[in-house]
Amino acid sequence: MLNNPSRRDFLQTCGTAAAATLVGASSAFSADSTGRSPQKRWFKGNLHMHNQWSDGKPLAPWAIDWYKTHGYDFVCPSDHNIFQSDELRFGGFGFNNQPADLAAFKGESSLWKVISPSAGWPKLTQRDVIETMEKFGTDTVRMITVGDQTYVRMTTFAELEEQFAEPDKFLMIPGYEQTGGCYNDQQVHMNFINVREVFPYIKSETPKEIFAQTFAKGQEVYDGQDYLFTADHPLWRYYDFSPKDLIALPQIRLFEVNNNSIDGRYEAHPEGWKPEEFWDVVNAHRAAHDQPLLLGMGSDDRHDYTIDAKAWSVVRAARLGVAELFSAIREGDFYASNGLDFEEIQFDGKSLSVKIDVREEGRYRIEFIGTKKDYDPSSQVVEVKAGSRNPARKIDVFSDSIGIVLDAVEGTEGSYTLKPEDLYVRAKIVKLGKELQSDWQSHPAAWSQPYR
Ligand SMILES: [Zn+2]
Ligand SMILES: [Zn+2]
């Protein structure tokens, strides 16, 4: 299931030195010691989420347990600018509770957060603590009271792994979200997945500079480590970066086509791109210039766990292990979903064939989406003034010839054969209902990777 010869490029440009995974695309199909080829299967995961280590509502054990008990196979608790290590700390993203006297914390480790009498970002409340105690027992939350402040100890990644990870059942991957923005505060967030060391956020003039410098710094800091770099939530807060930024940086191979924390919070501009169109704009350019294509992930980026987790990624691998999952992700053998599943995605170099894993009666549609070689690559700028829900922005508006439906099938199986004039093709599956939203807001839906 190779999409193009980009795998080597990807490994070279994504900053990994994971020689072990560079053994050929079919490594996971190779025979095991019994001589049988291990069967590949789909693993569901979420590589972007928050808990009280930064500004998520629940304490970490409550959050991780939620995924483990809701059908997820792997997760990365990716808090803002922090890794859940055992270093003694009292401050983090948006808060600083440093006590005047550290005597009570002699010999202690990890991050401690004060229980706040009032709710609000990014506070820890009594309610959040009680929730975890109710689930795991009162002795599972360690607290120290100094004067009128009660400090709660955050559970470290190593402790969470000990508590929740199970071989072949549930995999925990370390990581964090680089969170910050330009000098003018345009936000640029990026996840480093499968790393345990955090470097300070690199601010700069433009999103492109931040991406480029952060990517390069990652290569330096995580040299020799097998990790992933993702460009997060392109539409958040409101057109904070442009497809042009990722066109300029072909080394960035992963982005979030579906980040459900932006859902409903910001409306796209009527003329502006949405995340799925963003994807096609970048890939039209990349395919036309024979560059490795941009791959789309689904993430819920949850902070408030009373909101549904409506986006995730499903990866095909022979085993639930970081090397196997990352190898599949780099090959594009995964899909983003907010409710539907593929049973099969096959690309033989010419034809993309997909089959929907039907779990609910209904009418389904498969859309094969791509861009033709004669597309119009030009763009125009629309200036949007600051409004009640949006900052002022200059939005790049692209041609309708990008990301068109090449073919559509009503049903649960279909295939599309690339024509000489096509640059690439990807499949999107939707369940037809009363209200069919477009782009990343289609729900329930799933998105295959692009192939060429
Ligand atoms: Zn973010
Ligand atoms: Zn986030």
**Residues measured by CB to lie within 5 Å of ligand 2, the ion:** 177, 301
Count the Cβ atoms, other than its own, within 10 Å of residue 104. Answer: 13
Residues 6+ apart with CB under 8 A from 190: 177, 178, 211, 214, 215, 229, 230, 231, 232
Residues 126-171: pLDDT tens digits?
999 999 999 999 999 999 999 999 999 999 999 999 999 999 999 9
* pLDDT per residue as tens digits for the range 17-48: 333 333 233 333 334 455 566 799 999 999 99
pLDDT in tens, 206-255: 999 999 999 999 999 999 999 999 999 999 999 999 999 999 999 999 99
C-alpha 365 – ligand 2 centre gap (Å): 31
Distance of CA 179 from the midpoint of ligand 2 (Å): 8
How far from 122 is each of 96, 119, 129, 340, 433, CA to CA, in Å?
Answer: 11, 8, 14, 32, 37
CATH number assigned to the domain covering 6-30+39-84+155-447: 3.20.20.140
- Condensed to tens digits (0 to 9), the pLDDT of residues 4-13 reads 434 334 433 3
Residue 14 has pLDDT above 60, yes or no: no
Q: Is 286 helix (H, G, I), strand (E, B) or coil?
A: helix
| Segment 107-121 mean pLDDT | 96
Q: Which of 285, 283, 301 is nearest to 235 (CA)?
A: 301
pLDDT at 108 over 90: yes
Please tell me the predicted confidence (pLDDT) of residue 3. Answer: 39
Check pLDDT > 90 for residue 265.
Answer: no
Q: How far is the CA of 323 from the centre of ligand 2 (A)?
A: 24
Pairing of strands 74-75, 171-172: parallel
- Stated as kind and residue range, the H or E segment containing 152 is strand 149-153
Which residue shows structure tokens 């072909």?
250
* Cβ neighbours, 10 Å, residue 113: 24
Token reading at 343: 């049973």
Does 436 have pLDDT greater than 90? no
Six-digit token string for 22: 């560079």
What per-residue confidence (pLDDT) applies to 389? 84
What order do you get walking across the sheet with 149-153 strand by strand?
124-125, 112-116, 149-153, 143-146
CA of 428 to the centre of ligand 1 (A): 25
Residue 229's Cβ-side half-sphere holds a number of Cα atoms within 13 Å equal to 26
282 C-alpha to ligand 2 centroid (Å)? 22
Rounded to whole angstroms, the Cα distance separating 79 from 2 reads: 33
Domains of the chain, by residue range, sit at 6-30+39-84+155-447, 86-154
CA of 179 to the centre of ligand 1 (A): 6
364 contacts 430 by C-beta, under 8 angstroms: yes
Q: Is 361 exposed, middle or buried (0-12, 13-18, 19+ CB in 10 A)?
A: exposed
How far does CA 151 lie from the centroid of its chain? 31
* CA of 27 relative to ligand 1 center, distance in Å: 34
Q: Whole-angstrom Cα distance, residue 283 to residue 292? A: 9
Q: Express each pLDDT in 295-351 by its tens digit.
A: 999 999 999 999 889 899 999 999 999 999 999 999 999 999 999 999 999 999 999
Which pLDDT does position 262 carry in this prediction?
76
How distant, in Å, are the alpha carbons of 19, 179, 232, 301, 355 from that of 211?
25, 12, 11, 19, 36
Ligand whose nearest atom lies closest to the CA of 299: 2
What pLDDT is stored for residue 264 in this prediction? Answer: 65
**pLDDT attached to residue 266:** 74
CA of 241 to the centre of ligand 1 (A): 13
